[in-house]
Amino acid sequence: MALDYPTLPGDIDHLIADDHAIVERQFQHLEAGRGNRRVLVDQVAFELALHAFAEETVLYPIWTEIGMTDEHDDAEHEHQEIKELLVVLGRTEPGEQEFEEALAKLIGVVRHHVDDEETDELPEFRRKAGPDRMAQLGREFLAAKRQAPTRPHPHAPDEGIAERIAGMLAKPLDHVRDLLSGKQKEMATDASGLLDPQAQAIVDAHSSLGPLPVEILEPDQARKQPGPDDAVKKVMADRGIEGPEPVGSVEDIVIPDAAGGQMRMRVYQPADAGPEPLPVVFWIHGGGWVLFDIDTYDASCRGLTDKARAMVVSPDYRRAPEAVFPAAHDDVLTAYRWVVQHAAELGGDPARIGIGGESVGGTMAAATVLQLAQAGEPVPAAAVCVYPLTTGEQVGESMADAADGRPLNRALLSWMAMHAFEGKPDAAADPRVDLLGWGREQLAVMPPTLVVTGERDVLRSQGQRFAENLQAAGVPTTHRYYPGVMHEFFGAAAVLDKAEQAQQEAAQHFVRAFGAARPPVGVAPSGRTVR
C-alpha cells in the first residue's frame, strides 16, 4: 500500500510509509522462498525495532493529545504483539515450526497494522495535527531512530534522553536488539537473492564494513559511513586486484562556483594522448545532492577516460543541506560553461564535449543541457544518464519492488530529497528535477542520449520512462537495462562484469557522437534554442 494523498519527503507520514514499503518487499521475498531467509528476518526485525521505537516515542503520545485514544491503544497492542513475535524469530531458525508459524503471524499482523495506519490513522492524524507539523515530526521521528541503535560503532550518535524516557515501553525492543547483537554486519546487505553473484559480493562487502542506516543519520554523520567505492575497494583487496585503474594523469584544479566562491574540478587525461586536442567528457557525480564527492566516483571517471580515450572532467559541486537546491545545479552549469571556455587550455576540444553522470549526476546532466539550450548556447554532443532521478514523485513499479534495495532504498531516497530541498517545497516540481514533466519541445533539445538502469534500483522505473519520453520526442535514445544489479553499480568495473559493459557502452556512445560532432575547420558549433 501507499499513502493516497500528497506528502513531502521529510513528513512523518511519508517516512512511515517508506518503512512500510521496505518491510513489505522483504515479506514478499520470504513468501516467495528466495534469498537468505535468516538475514531477511533479521533485517525485518531491525527495521521494525527502529520503526516501533520511533512511533512510540514521537507519534503515539500525540495521538492521545488530539483525541485518537482508540487508535493509540490499538497500535500499541499491535506493536507489543510484533515485538514478541520478533523475539521468537530471533531465538529460532528458518525451517523450524515455531519460526515459520511466528513469521506467518508476523506478516499478517504487520500488514493489518500498515493497512490501518495508511488507510485511516495517518490521514486522520494529518487532518487533526495539520500538515505544517508533519516536517518537524519527521525530524523527530528520525532522531528517535538514531537513539534506538545500541551497538558500538565509531560514528554512532550518543544515546540520549528519548530512550530513557521510553522506559518500560522500550524493554521488548531491547530484547530484539540483544538477539541481533553481532549480526550488524548483515544489516546493510541485499538478502533478496535477486542480485547476480558479482553484485552480491559488493553489497555483502559494503555491509561487512558495518554502516549504520544512512537514512536515519544527520548528513555530517552519514558522510562518515562507508560508501559504494569502499565496498568495491574491499572486494578488490580480498581478491588481490590492484587499483585504481591507471590513466595518463589526474589533476585537481580550482574553478569558480556559482556563488562567487571556488570548487574543485578533477581532470583526467588518457595515457599516450598525443598532440591533438582531446574530446571531453563532463562527468557529474551522484549522492542525492547530499552525500559523496568526486573521490567516490573516481573509478567511473578513470574507466571512461581509458575507454573513450577522452579527457574526463568532474566538478565537486556544493552539497545540501549546507547549500540546498539549486546550488548543485548552478555549480554544474557554471563548471560546464567554464570547461567550454577553457577546454583548449586543458588540451581539450571545445567542439567535442559530452555530458553525463550517475544518479542525480544524471539528473543534472540532462538539466544542464536544457538550461544551455534555453540560453541559446551549444549543447553537448551526447548525454549519458546512469540510473538518473527524473522526478521527485514516487512513481513506477520500482518504488515497490526495489523499495528494499541496497545501497539505495526508498527511505534513503526520501532522506536525500528532504535535505536537498529543505526550505524549498516546490523544488521537486522544478524542470531541473522533474525531467518527466518536460514537454516535447524541452525533450527535443537533448543530444543522442544513453540511459542506463538496473533491476534492484528504486529509480529504475523513472529512468525507463525518461528514455521512453526522449524516444517519443524523436531524440536518438538508447536504453540499457542491466538485470541483477543495484544502484551505484556503474563504478564497479574492476569486480563487476556488467559495470564494465555499462562503461564500455557509455564510452562508445560518446565516441560515436564525438566523431559526428567534429565541425569543419573554421566552423563553430551552433546551439539549439528552446522558446
Backbone phi and psi for residue 35, each to the nearest 5 degrees, phi listed first: 80, -170
Give Dmax (Cα) for the chain: 79
What helix, strand, coil percent values describe the chain, rounded to 5? Answer: 55, 10, 35
Q: Which of 314, 359, 414, 461 is catalytic?
A: 359
Rounded CA-CA distance 204/513 in Å is: 38
Q: Is 457 a catalytic residue?
A: yes
Q: Which of 79, 419, 487, 509 is catalytic?
A: 487
Catalytic, 295? Answer: no
Between CA 42 and CA 143 the distance in angstroms is 22
Question: Distance between CA atoms of 436 and 390, rounded to whole angstroms?
Answer: 6
DSSP assignment of 37-94 equals HHHHHHHHHHHHHHHHHHIIIIIHHHHHHTT-HHHHHHHHHHHHHHHHHHHHHHHS-T
Write the DSSP string, 88-131.
HHHHS-TTSHHHHHHHHHHHHHHHHHHHHIIIIIHHHHHHHH-G
Q: Which residue's C-alpha cell is 540546498?
A: 324
CA-to-CA separations, 314 to 136, 142, 266, 337, 351, in angstroms, rounded: 36, 33, 5, 13, 18
φ, ψ dihedrals at 253, nearest 5°: -120, 165
Any residues with CB less than 8 A from the CB of 302 and at least 6 apart, and which?
Answer: 244, 245, 246, 247, 250, 268, 312
Q: What is the DSSP letter of 270?
A: -
CA 346 remoteness from chain centre = 33
3-state secondary structure of 316: coil
Amino acid sitting at position 106: L
C-alpha cell recorded at residue 387 = 540510473
Distance CA 515, CA 451 (A): 20
Instruction: Give SS3 for 438.
Output: coil
359 carries an active-site annotation: yes
Residue 180 and residue 46: Cα distance in Å, rounded? 8
User: CB of 363 within 8 A of CB of 431?
Assistant: no
φ, ψ of residue 348 to 5 degrees: the values are -105, 165
Sign of CA dihedral 142, 147, 152, 156: positive
326 upstream amide cis, omega within 30 of 0: yes
Q: Taking a C-beta distance cutoff of 8 angstroms, is the pair 48, 82 a contact?
A: yes
Active site residues per annotation = 359, 457, 487
